[in-house]
Structure 1
C-alpha cells in the first residue's frame, strides 16, 4: 500500500517533479553533446565519463516520468516543453576546450541537483516518501558526479 496521497501531491510535487524531469533531460542532452565534441589529451577519459553520465540520466528521466504517471500526472515531453521548463545551462556547442565542457556540466549538475532538492522537499512536505526516495538517490548521484568533475578541473 502506498503512503502517497495523490491529492496532496498532485500540485506541489508534480510541478517540482516536472521541472526535475526537464532539467534531467536537458542535462542528459548536454552530456551527450559534450561526449560527441570533446577533444584533447583527456579525450578517452572524458568521452567515457560523459557517456556514463548521459546513460545514467537516460535511466533517471524514465524513472522520473514514470513517477509522475504513478501520481496520475502526465509527464511533460518534447524539446520545446523541456526547454521552457528547464534552467540547465548549455555546454559549448562545437569546438571548445575540454575544461569548458566539464565546467558546463558542473553548472548543469548543480542546477539539476537544486531541482532534486526542491522536489525532495516538496515530496517531504506532502508525505510522499516514494518520490523522496527517488530524489535522495538522484541527489547522491549528482553530488558524487559534481565531486568528480570538480576534482578533474583542479590544477588545470
Structure 2
C-alpha cells in the first residue's frame, strides 16, 4: 500500500513540476534574475505550495497516524546550527547556478534537458561526500 501511495504522490509531484515550469532551468534562472529578465510566475507556484502545505499539515496532524505509515516521522531537534545554515546555503547557490533542484532535475531528465544530465551526477556526488564527511566526523567523535 505504501509503495502505491508514494508512487502516485511522486507522479503527481513530477507532473506539477512540469506544468509549473519548475523543471525548465531557464524559467527558474529568469525568476532569480531580479534586475534582468525577471519572471515572477514561479512566485505564484511557490505561494500555492506554501498555502497547500500550511493547510495540509493542519488537516493531516489532526489524524492519530498517517494513512500509509504506523506513525508520523518528525524531526527530533529544532536547533538552528551551523549544518542547518550551511546546507540550505549550498543548496541555494547550486539552484541559482544550475537552475535545478533535485526534484525538477529528475523530472527534466525525462524531458531530455541536457543540463540535468550534468547536474544529477554532481548532486549525487555531493550527497555522497556529505555522508562521508558526516560519518568521518561521527567516527572521530566516538574515538
- What interval of TM-score do these two structures reach, taking the shorter chain for normalisation? 0.3 to 0.5
| TM-score, normalised relative to structure 2 | 0.36
Question: Which structure shows the higher helix fraction?
Answer: 1
Higher RCO structure, 1 or 2 (CA under 8 Å, sep 6+) = 1
| TM-score, normalised relative to structure 1 | 0.34
